[in-house]
Amino acid sequence: MKLYFDKLKKLKNEEITYFFWGIYVLISFLNLVGIFYASNECQLVFKLIRYVCYVVFLTKIFIDWKNGAKITFSMIVIFLLSLAIAIFAKNRSILFIAIILFALRKMKFDKLIEIALKIYMIGFLIVVCLALLNIIPNWEFSRGNMPRYALGFIYATDAIGIYLAIILMFLYIKKDKATYIELLILELINVFMYSYTNGRLSFILVSTMLILQFVSKFQIVKNIFYSSFIQKCLKTVCYTLPIVLFLGLHILVIMYANNNFLANKVNKIISDRIKLTYQAYRNNNVNLFGTNIKWQGWGAYGYKELEEGEEFVYNYVDSSYARLILDYGIIFSCIVIYAYRETLMKSYEEKNYWLIFAILFILVWSFIEQYLININKNLFILSFIPLLEMGKIEQLNYSNISKMIKK
């Protein structure tokens, strides 16, 4: 009977955690919708709801600890580092991400992604339809003479970026079970999204993923993929890509500073992103724990009122690899790149190929977009959770701490 009630209690705790995870994901999604983003009242309500979720997650952390979960060296390092970033850079986002990851240690990764996928799919469909029907604002921006529509979201890039995030989660959950009809419909939606948003990289990445999903169904492709040569290539990519992209971005910035032809060409192709990154490094200090920078981009520009006395000067840096250093500092940047590399290596050893592909696309995507450590759009940050088990500290068990306090 006691065993039964223990199982019931565990189930209840898990269901509560899944429920509040869903609430947190929903609020994160709604925060990307233009009409809510532009409303100070909505922002305040969303903030209050998020803090309720954080309290629930902190309670979950304590209950897990009390029930025998170990405090680890990696958890302490991340907590102290996120605290330092909050103090020195006035940026608490990493502290909140750490709380979420700590709380979800015992939860099922696939179920967490599945919950997020359902919320994003339903929310995305509703928002886009409402925007097309002019029930909610469909903000218009431009790239040269070409109009770009946000389809109800903050910015055009956000709209197709959210669709890319949905595709990543969908293909991870479905794996090789997606039907040809589903893939065709998803590609047609992709073409539709591109026609409105002109989001080039996201369009290319979505098309590439759908094509890979399509060809993966053929036995000849499977045979090629599992060949020793392709497996060695994939292993090399897993071991090196996070570092290559991180260093590659900064090498291009240095080359651009020296008026290099190749860097100028790349800068033109990716819409002045190298130039803006160079200017950000020139105008801001690089610190161990990040810098408090007021980023101003085109998202909601012209539709959301500026704060009193605030002037708009575009300085937004899209590349996640530069924003890591600028926002969170050198130490945290190294840890994030290490975490992605370790997750890829672990996934390769476990033959978790669909997670590998999801992360590889995120890494490439993050070269020119702000997604690498953005849990609102990149739910695969949850794949870092196993790394929190590194270096268990027995002395910090709940029972040991309780004995010390009683003494």
Token reading at 333: 């940047």
Cα separation, 297 vs 107, whole angstroms: 36
The pLDDT value given to residue 5:
45
Which stretch of DSSP H or E encloses residue 146?
strand 146-149
DSSP-assigned beta bridge partners for residue 142: 147
pTM of this prediction? Answer: 0.91
Residue 259 Rama label (left phi>0; alpha psi -120 to 50; beta) = left
Write the DSSP string, 2-56: HHHHHHHHHHHHHHHHHHHHHHHHHHHHHTTBHHHHT-HHHHHHHHHHHHHHHHH
Amino acid residing at 60: K
Residue type, 364: V
Both tokens assigned to 192:
């539709």
> Using CA atoms, how far apart are residues 215 and 206, in angstroms rounded to an integer?
14
Structure tokens at 58: 């902190």
Rg (alpha carbons) of the chain, rounded to whole number: 22
Higher pLDDT, 322 or 304: 322
Q: How confident is the model at residue 8 (pLDDT cuts 50, 70, 90)?
A: very low
So what's the pLDDT on residue 10? 55
Q: State the pLDDT confidence band at 302, using cuts at 50, 70 and 90.
A: low
Four-CA torsion 19, 96, 171, 20, nearest 10 degrees: 0
CA atoms within 13 A on the CB side of 294: 7
Q: Are 281 and 289 in contact (CB under 8 A)?
A: no
Any idea of the CA torsion for 66, 72, 77, 82, to the nearest 10 degrees?
Answer: -40
Q: pLDDT of 352-382, one tens digit each?
A: 999 999 999 999 999 988 889 989 889 999 9
SS3 357: helix
Rounded to 10°, the helix 156-174/180-197 angle is 170
CA–CA separation, 62 and 400 (whole Å): 15
Q: Determine contact, residues 85/289, Cβ cutoff 8 Å.
A: yes
Residue 338 pLDDT exceeds 60: yes
Q: How confident is the model at residue 11 (pLDDT cuts 50, 70, 90)?
A: low
Closest C-alpha to 159, from 300, 65, 57, 266: 300
pLDDT band at 69 (very low <50, low <70, confident <90, very high): confident
For residue 182, with 0-12 CB atoms within 10 Å meaning exposed, 13-18 middle and 19 or more buried, which class applies? middle
pLDDT band at 400 (very low <50, low <70, confident <90, very high): confident
- 185: alpha, beta or left, given left = phi > 0 and alpha = psi -120 to 50? alpha
pLDDT value of residue 46:
95
Residues 15 and 65 sit within 8 Å (Cβ to Cβ): no
Q: What is the pLDDT of residue 221?
A: 87
For position 296, what pLDDT does the model report?
84
pLDDT digits (tens, 9 = 90+) for 145-174: 788 999 999 999 899 999 999 999 999 999
Q: Could you tell me which residues are beta bridge partners of residue 153?
A: 33
CA-to-CA dists, residue 64 to 213, 380, 404, angstroms: 38, 22, 19
Residue 348 phi, psi (nearest 5): -65, -45
* pLDDT score for 68: 85
The pLDDT of residue 1: 46
Q: Are 17 and 104 in contact (CB under 8 A)?
A: yes
Backbone phi, psi, residue 84, to 5°: -65, -40
For the cut 60, the answer to whether the pLDDT of residue 231 exceeds it is yes
User: Residue 122: what residue type?
Assistant: I
Q: Rounded distance, CA 72 to CA 284, Å?
A: 35
Q: How confident is the model at residue 6 (pLDDT cuts 50, 70, 90)?
A: low
Residue indicated by tokens 């490094």: 281
Residue 368: predicted pLDDT: 87
**Around Cβ 10, how many Cβ atoms within 10 Å?**
13
- Mean of the per-residue pLDDT values of the chain: 90
Cβ atoms of 280 and 322 within 8 Å: the answer is yes
